[in-house]
Structure 1
């Protein structure tokens, strides 16, 4: 019954519906889309191990001041708005209204017709759901974001530097960055999970910004092994790869593409067993055949292992992976993280009370209705169904009755007094059927003439009573037949008795509409009073007095009154219409009794 009543109320009031709202405890959500046109034009697809960088600011997010402390209420969901995604917050500044979130995208997102994720916010009671360590793929063994918390590895490996002399800079590509002045460095000690093995491949990538030319070979990255050192440096804006092997000596390779001054550029070095590939902003800058050894004795950033040949510039979003990343993956990072081609678009913020496709206010209110309220609403639902059945049946039957009355009256008015019995016929199966089921005959139609006409029923009784009072003479002694005044009055009495029964049939079941009209609102009011009593009793027991505690219970209690009115109002309109039709048919019957007895008196008195 609860489902039936809910469906009826939804159909009647037509509330706005929406796609499911993930959790009613969250007030706001935002749709975040990946620009497939940009990806298509660049010939890039979304990798299965991709990360989305969500940049929030006052232009695309209007609820910074509503966020819980440290953004603990932020949640990111997949396109189905059911599956939470792992994420972490690199930067959150509600005062200046900006935030940076990294989201691990679900696998298979490239196959979706619309690659989107959903950002939920607005729940002060929520627990922090950030999971920086769990957000990274196992292949990503080191990630430095250079945030305000210092130089820390965000992955579960915790490859934090043993020495970190770089300066934090506010002018990073993604939040803060690490600034190097030529005498600063990061020393990352050796660890079992930081072994760069060429047989399985590895990748170093980072964003660099250089404001002045590097006259000498200033080191960006150096990895050291047992008998080999691999160095990535810059000289005269060109990337240079040095491979220093204790057995075969030193080899040097210069990249084909420069790192332009004054702008951020993505630099990636992809290593395999017999090759080194260099990429600048996702474009191939050189491929060099080499024989690499395991590099497992530590990594230095911004200088070499002796802290010489220092780099001058800024570094942001430094990542080391233990796999050789493909070109598509690198290009996706360039598009996602870079400043030139925004890959992420942001829809308007949506609130839970205005969501199109989510839970409507009507459904939310019904969810708060108590058991006694549902009992009352269930009773009103029964009354609602019965009243509509009565109205529909009565409309069909009365319309058929009125139509047949009109047809009969047209025929009767053409008769002369001496032909008064001409329209009479024997009782048929249709006449018996209409006594048993008027609605069935009205829907299917009867074959008998004037079947369903209440006026004809009066006529038929009048003719039958008249025939009983006429004495049929035979032979030569035939005189004109006469009915006395008492006989005519007797015929009239018989017709009036049938008229009363016809009126009773016309008014049959109308009392159910009267009950719905008068009883529906009072029954609904009873449910409301009970609901209000229960609400205030619960508030008194809890000791919590505020609008949020009172409003849901009161709204749910008022749902019973709404249900009562939804029963009574249609029943009132239907009753008024049906009463007017019954009044017309009743008047026609009274008029016909007078008309018939007048013709009868004219002919036989």
Structure 2
């Protein structure tokens, strides 16, 4: 029994501790945390093999990172693995606190296939944190050169390890695909190093991003290996081997990769295999100067050369990660976590993200719509109860009325919700004024019957007004709700684009939260209008039926009065 009690106590303690472990916070001194998920399932960018040492750029913007809470230079940035314990190697290529944009390169030790659990945590918000000594040389050991083109116009474009240097200055474009890109003017950019070489049959891999202005020329060349463009179509060549495929439109970024190994020359375009050719048994070694952009104008970004054969999954994953593919790269919280919030709550849902990005004008519109919704629901409930009780009492009264032999002796007890009973009582009141049914009373003339009918018709109009009262509030909700929501959306989108114009950046990841939140106003307008529309149509049909029953009853009542008490 003692052992059993010990085991029970241990299991209970473990159960109590599990939520705490799940909500672990790497360091309480850092107040903000952003989670970035890399989804390798079929719903994201599916991969079939585990990848190790992949380096991906994590883009931070106002939608997923609190720049106001971080240091102006990003010195308090830290990147931690999915276990929220292991610090990862990273390098900050760009941190622009004023425009709220940053690019942080992170080395992923392992990326598992078929899961949405590949994630990293980006921490910030520690005023006491000193800048870490980070290096751009964070790529795997197979990387011979990784050139990000970070820097200023006129500087050389060396690889991140500083072992491969460019032969001359490079012109830059600050708004490249990832960060800074290089401008091509038809004259080739060249690099030389003993590291940049391989046998004629590999293994060797080259990849780069290209945004062409002209789609004819030699994009890449080193010894017998070349990647050329002819009328917008990519062609990889290695000696006599040629792989042709994949058209590139002008003024659009495209990812191109070439691998040599296992007897194959393989060309990839935008992460997918476009062509493959057999490599001859005898090919000159791939060595000598590496050149990019001979006879081509446009922009080039993220040139990578590896002394291995990158797999199809590697190329696919790198393409998706570097292009910020929305299916692969997901921010689980558009508004960053906080240490206090994480202690008591799990991840925020999409709806919470939208609410937290609402502008003031959208809040005003949504509050007005919320009031309209409450009023509409109250009207629909009130009228539904009214017509339900009215139908019940009307049926009961009609049964009594049609079974009574004397039109003047119909019982109306416990029928306070029956419009027909009230109309009957109104007619009975008029008949009592004329002593109808009393001994010696004269039969009703045609004029008297018309007077009685007019009095009952007047009460019928009043009953119709009572039935239709407040229904106008539903019509206001139906017609006004969507327009109010649209107003909130339009103003919210205007404010979002105005902020982007002021920042001078058109990153879709930065504007998406604002636009999505603005659209919430339209959703709120429709959420008010749609139930109100259904309720209005239902109630209108029920009220119309009751009104028809009242009209029929008045005619039936006057007819029976004339038959029993009218002049012959």
Q: TM-score, normalized by length of structure 2? A: 0.52
* RMSD between superposed Cα atoms in Å: 2.7
- 2:45 and 2:167 map into 1 onto residues whose CA distance is 43
Q: 1:95 aligns with which of 72, 95, 98?
A: 98
Q: 1:195 aligns with which of 194, 197, 207?
A: 197
- Aligned residue in 2 for 1:355: 342
How far 1:177 sits from its partner (Å)?
1.0
- Aligned residue in 2 for 1:73: 76
- Aligned residue in 1 for 2:124: 121
How far 1:60 sits from its partner (Å)?
1.6
- 2:230 and 2:201 map into 1 onto residues whose CA distance is 29
How far 1:319 sits from its partner (Å)?
0.5
How far 1:133 sits from its partner (Å)?
4.2
1:285 aligned onto 2:285? no
1:241 aligned onto 2:236? yes
1:57 aligned onto 2:61? yes
How far 1:93 sits from its partner (Å)?
0.6
**Contact 1:141/1:155, CA 8 A, preserved across alignment:** no
- 2:111 and 2:318 map into 1 onto residues whose CA distance is 17
**Contact 1:86/1:130, CA 8 A, preserved across alignment:** no
- 1:352 and 1:339 map into 2 onto residues whose CA distance is 27
How far 1:44 sits from its partner (Å)?
5.1
- 2:162 and 2:150 map into 1 onto residues whose CA distance is 18
1:19 aligned onto 2:10? no
Q: 2:286 aligns with which of 292, 295, 312?
A: 295
- 2:56 and 2:43 map into 1 onto residues whose CA distance is 13
Note closer, same or farther for the CA distance 1:198–1:122 as it changes in structure 2 (3 Å cut). Answer: farther
- 1:267 and 1:112 map into 2 onto residues whose CA distance is 26
5+ long unaligned stretches in structure 1? 1-14, 245-250, 304-309, 359-605
1:145 aligned onto 2:148? yes
- 2:233 and 2:90 map into 1 onto residues whose CA distance is 35
Q: What SS does the aligned partner of 2:109 have?
A: coil
1:262 aligned onto 2:251? yes
Note closer, same or farther for the CA distance 1:79–1:313 as it changes in structure 2 (3 Å cut). Answer: same
Note closer, same or farther for the CA distance 1:260–1:299 as it changes in structure 2 (3 Å cut). Answer: same
**Contact 1:146/1:316, CA 8 A, preserved across alignment:** yes
How far 1:71 sits from its partner (Å)?
1.6
Q: Deviations over 1:291-344 (max 9, x none)?
A: 3332222211112xxxxxx21111111100110111111111122122554421
**Contact 1:22/1:81, CA 8 A, preserved across alignment:** yes
Note closer, same or farther for the CA distance 1:302–1:124 as it changes in structure 2 (3 Å cut). Answer: same
How far 1:195 sits from its partner (Å)?
1.8
How far 1:111 sits from its partner (Å)?
7.6
How far 1:181 sits from its partner (Å)?
1.8
How far 1:278 sits from its partner (Å)?
0.9
Q: TM-score, normalized by length of structure 1? A: 0.49
Larger radius of gyration: 1
1:223 aligned onto 2:216? no
How many residues align? The count is 321
Q: How does 1:415-434 map to 2 (within 5 A)?
A: none
How far 1:271 sits from its partner (Å)?
0.8
Q: Deviations over 1:334-364 (max 9, x none)?
A: 2212255442122131222332269xxxxxx
Note closer, same or farther for the CA distance 1:25–1:329 as it changes in structure 2 (3 Å cut). Answer: same
**Contact 1:213/1:237, CA 8 A, preserved across alignment:** yes
Q: What SS does the aligned partner of 2:317 have?
A: helix
Q: What SS does the aligned partner of 2:218 have?
A: strand
- Aligned residue in 1 for 2:211: 209
5+ long unaligned stretches in structure 2? 1-18, 346-568
- Farther-moved stretch of structure 1 (135-144 vs 30-39): 30-39
- 1:279 and 1:326 map into 2 onto residues whose CA distance is 11
- Aligned residue in 2 for 1:85: 88
Q: What SS does the aligned partner of 2:53 have?
A: coil
How far 1:136 sits from its partner (Å)?
0.8
How far 1:198 sits from its partner (Å)?
4.3
